[in-house]
Structure 1
Amino acid sequence: MMSKEKRRVPKLRFPGFTEDWEQRKFSDLYEKISEKNDLSYSLDKIISVANMYYKSDAKVSNEEYLRTYNIFRYGEIAFEGNKSKNFAYGRFVENTIGDGIISHVFEVFRPIVKYDIYFWKYYINYEPIMGKVLSRCTKKTTMMTNLVAKDFLKETILVPTLAEQKQIGTLLNTLDKFITLHQRKLDNLKLKKKALLQKLFPKNGERYPELRFPGFTDTWEQRKLGDYLIQYTEITTQNNQYPVLTSSRKGLFFQTDYYDGNQIASKDNTGYNIVPYGYFTYRHMSDDEIFHFNINYIVDKGIVSTLYPVFTTKNLNSNYLQLQLNYGSEFRKYAVLLKQGGSRTYMYFNKLKDLKLTISTSIDEQEIIAKFFISFEKLITLHQRKLDHLKLQKKALLQQMFV
């Protein structure tokens, strides 16, 4: 009896709720429908099932094709068969935005009992429970899974009372709104950083940045980068002499942290480049990212593959240079012309040294630009941590409030 009770009662409940959740067949909760669009709904009412919004850029070959679309009403659920890391057998998505239409490839189910829309929004989409259900009532294809509706309706799920559904749904929906608000704040900060970076460094061919800190008026000068760089060529003499580092667009990481311990550079890293604290390394990149420059601020000495050159600066602020190389237009234009390789591009250090960069010759101006963006980045990091914490709280609540 005890084990049965544990299965039917969530770990975390609102006061006043003590009864077991009731085991119900999906056929007692939903019915499969196939309500076709009679052209009452036009292009502006096509809904993205994956992201739950009206698709402003939707296109069809002709208006008549809209008759093949299924009507998808507020409160109904649709099955999306795309397999992913988070949804091994596809997933159900609830319509929380209003009536519209979706492609005929999505099967639609309508609730036939009283329900709380926000409770079911999260519950019907919760992989630890629904993944087991869908594993038994879907058929795998190459890229997607197909739902067998009659088998799905035979499956069962534990359901709380409507009053408890409303309490849970309100809490989770409020938390989601809070998460969305923090995400917008974070995105706005990142956009501001990008805009400031564009204004605080001169555009190609210009000698003054659009925006400057007070007290600085001198012309920026074009200089050969090699005059300010010192290559560092020390390599490891034994395996695992220092921690292996991974250079990415998001920064420099211990490789075991970056890959969650599932990937190592090689079994033997003897002969790898050593990166002392405060020194640069840069990695080849794919697509339009070209390259990304990182400074070792995480360990006294780390190591990287010999594909990644290591250097430091003289008479030039390192943090300032990192910003200009990563976000300025001059290096990007240079790299597009001189990069080597195919899908993975690289650039030897001797080519990097030939770059002519328009820089501030004032160390004070370099330092103030660098300090400003370091402070800005700390603010972004703080907001990112708050957002990550809220998402962890939501995950913990889902685990404890669902059976």
Structure 2
Amino acid sequence: MMSKEKRRVPKLRFPGFTEDWEQRKFSDLYEKISEKNDLSYSLNKIISVANMYYKSDAKVSNEEYLKTYNIFRYGEIAFEGNKSKDFAYGRFVENTIGDGIISHVFEVFRPIVKYDIYFWKYYINYEPIMGKVLSRCTKKTTMMTNLVAKDFLKETVLVPTLAEQKQIGTLLNTLDKFITLHQRKLDNLRLKKKALLQKLFPKNGERYPELRFPGFTDAWEQRKLGECMDSFEYGLNAAAKEYDGTHKYIRITDIDDETHNFIQSNLTSPDIDFNSDVSDYKLNINDIVFARTGASVGKTYLYNPSDGDLYYAGFLIRGKVNEACDAGFIYQNTLTRDYDSFIRITSQRSGQPGVNSKEYATFRLNIPCKDEQEKISELLNRLDKLFTLHQRKLDHLQLKKKALLQQMFV
């Protein structure tokens, strides 16, 4: 009896709420509707169900085709059958932006009881609960799942009072606003960094950048990447094992796609004998590693001593930057359009894309004097640190939201 009681209340609640959540059939909460567009809604009111916004680039063969579209009103839910790693059987999405129209392939349900729109926005989309429901009322096809509406309406879900819905919905929506704010800051920093890279480095074929620090006027020299390196070396051919507390293993997947930082979660160690001499595979200051194969070919990481003892894996190539060049400046060159273009062309293979050490050595880049290199590197590194700070705040907020969902939903 006690276990049943526990299952009907969430772990975390607002003060004043003690009663059990009520088990309700979805047919008590929603009704299936099929309200067709009579051309009251035009192209500018087509809603993206996946992202919940009005499409600005929507196109149809002719205006009459809009009559096949379903009207999708504020507060209603639509079933999207696309399977993904996050939603094994598709998902429900609530309309939180306003009335509009959606393709006839999406089934629409209208609430028939008083409800809090933001509570249901998160609850109806929460995979740990809705995934189990949808596993019993959908049919799989090759690419999507089809909802069996009558079966869905027979399913049940635990529902709190309207007052508790409002408290939960307000909290989660407020948290989402903070997440959106930090995401915008990140996006703005990305744009600022992108603009700086274009101005701080000479454009293709030119020898002077658009933006320079005071006191620097000399033309930049074109060199090959190989001239900036003491050597290129391939990494360890070893499997990963449980982290031993000291020796960290860096593989392609351990380099963050956005920040190019070493990912410190899920640490591993290389499965090798550390009593033998493996110092050649340990990263040092001024080392840059390059991904040499696969979808992430070209991805780079500049060694940061604060990351600890790092040993690099076989699908990475280590370049040791020589004393004539600043390692940070060389690394920033691997984030430019010219570098992206080089990787796109050079990596073309009959099988998986790839770039070997001899090919990396041929990448041409423009080089100023070392003092100017260091100035540019320092500026961009400060921006990268700010980017990392905002990314960590964003990650923290997303983890907090995940924890709240787990504790506030039954």
- Aligned residues of 1:200 and 1:210 also touching (Cα < 8 A): yes
The answer for the alignment partner of 1:121 in structure 2 is: 121
The equivalent of 1:292 in structure 2 is 299
**8 Å Cα contact 2:233-2:357 kept in structure 1:** no
| Partner in structure 1 of residue 189 of structure 2 | 189
Equivalences for residues 132-143 of structure 1 within 5 A: 132-143=132-143
Matches within 5 A, 1:83-232: 83-232=83-232
Q: 1:342 to 1:163 in 2, by over 3 A?
A: same
**Equivalent-residue separation in structure 2 for 1:33 and 1:234 (angstroms):** 61
Inter-partner Cα distance in structure 1 for 2:105 and 2:216: 61
Q: SS of the counterpart of 1:65?
A: helix
Task: Point out the more displaced range, 274-283 or 390-399.
Answer: 274-283
Q: Give the secondary structure class of the aligned counterpart of 1:291.
A: coil
Contact 1:26 1:153 in 2 (8 A): yes
Which of 297, 308, 319 in structure 1 is aligned with 2:328? 319
Aligned CA distance change for structure 1 residues 274 and 114 (closer, same or farther; 3 Å): same
1:303 maps to 2:308: no
Residue 379 of structure 1 aligns with an amino acid whose one-letter code is: L
TM-score, normalised via structure 2 length: 0.87
For residues 90 and 19 of structure 1, do their structure 2 counterparts lie closer, same or farther at Cα, with a shift above 3 Å needed? same
CA distance in 2, matches of 1:397, 1:240: 33
Would the aligned equivalents of 1:275 and 1:302 in 2 still touch at CA under 8 Å? yes
Q: Would the alpha carbon gap of residues 227 and 397 (structure 1) be closer, same or farther in structure 2, given more than 3 Å must change?
A: closer
Residues 350-359 or 381-390, more deviating: 350-359
Q: Does residue 1:245 correspond to 2:237, yes or no?
A: no
SS at match of 2:158: strand
Letter in 2 for 1:357: L
Structure 2 SS opposite 1:345: coil
* 2:48 maps to 1:39: no
Cα deviation code 1:127-179 (max 9, x no counterpart): 11111111111111121111111111111111111111111111111111111
Which residue in the other structure is 2:74 paired with?
74
Displacement of 1:384 in angstroms is 0.6
SS of 1:139 mapped into structure 2: strand
Instruction: Tell me how far apart the structure 2 counterparts of residues 271 and 237 of structure 1 sit (CA, whole Å).
Output: 15
Cα distance, 1:291 vs structure 2: 1.8
Q: Figure out how many residues of one structure are paired with residues of the other and give that number.
A: 396
Q: Which moved more, 1:241-250 or 1:149-158?
A: 241-250
Equivalent residue of 2:51, what SS? coil
Distance 1:227 1:79, change over 3 A: closer
Distance (whole Å) between structure 2 residues aligned to residue 180 and residue 147 of structure 1: 31
Structure 1's 46 and 332: CA in aligned 2 closer, same or farther, altered over 3 A?
A: closer
One-letter amino acid of the structure 2 residue matched with residue 349 of structure 1? S
Pairwise CA distance, 1:311? 3.1
Report SS of the residue matched to 1:51: coil
Structure 2 CA distance for partners of 1:399 and 1:389, relative to 1, 3 Å: same
Change (3 A) 1:65 1:401: same
Q: Name the structure 2 match of 1:9.
A: 9
**Gapped runs of 5+ residues in structure 1?**
none
SS of residue in 2 equivalent to 1:114: coil
Provide the residue aligned with 2:352 in structure 1: 344
Ranges in structure 2 where 5+ consecutive residues have no aligned partner: 242-246
Structure 2: distance between partners of 1:237 and 1:87: 36
1:206 partner letter: E
- Match of 2:208, SS state, is coil
User: Aligned Cα RMSD in Å?
Assistant: 3.0
1:401 alignment counterpart: 408
Residue type of the partner of 2:300? F
Would the aligned equivalents of 1:245 and 1:252 in 2 still touch at CA under 8 Å?
no
Q: Percent identity?
A: 65
Q: Residue 134 of structure 2 contacts residue 152 of structure 2 at CA under 8 Å; is this kept in 1?
A: yes
Secondary structure at the aligned position of 2:391 is classed as helix
1:282 is matched with: 290
For 2:157 and 2:343, locate their aligned partners in 1 and report how far apart those are by CA, in whole Å: 57
Q: Which amino acid aligns with 1:369?
A: I
Letter in 1 for 2:332: L
Give the C-alpha shift of residue 379 in structure 1.
Answer: 0.6
Query: Once the 2 structures are TM-superposed, how far is the Cα of residue 351 of structure 1 from its aligned partner?
Result: 3.8
Name the counterpart of 1:353.
361
Residue aligned with 1:399, SS: helix
Report the CA distance between 1:231 and its aligned residue: 0.8
8 A contact 1:286–1:343 mirrored in 2:
no
Measure the CA separation in 1 of the matches of 2:240 and 2:46. Answer: 56
**Cα distance in 2, alignment partners of residues 149 and 203 from structure 1:** 58
| Mapped contact 2:22–2:160 kept (Cα < 8 A) | yes
Q: CA–CA distance in 1 between the matches of 2:272 and 2:141?
A: 37
Shift in alpha-carbon separation, 1:24–1:230, aligned structure 2, 3 A: same
For residues 211-267 of structure 1, what are the alpha-carbon distances to aligned partners after superposition, in whole Å with 9 as ceiling and x for unaligned?
Answer: 11222222212234433321154876998897542135453647x957x87xx9999
Q: 1:111 Cα shift?
A: 0.7
Mapped to 2, the partners of 1:82 and 1:237 lie a distance apart of: 39
Q: Which amino acid aligns with 1:346?
A: G
Deviation at 1:353, TM superposition (A): 3.4
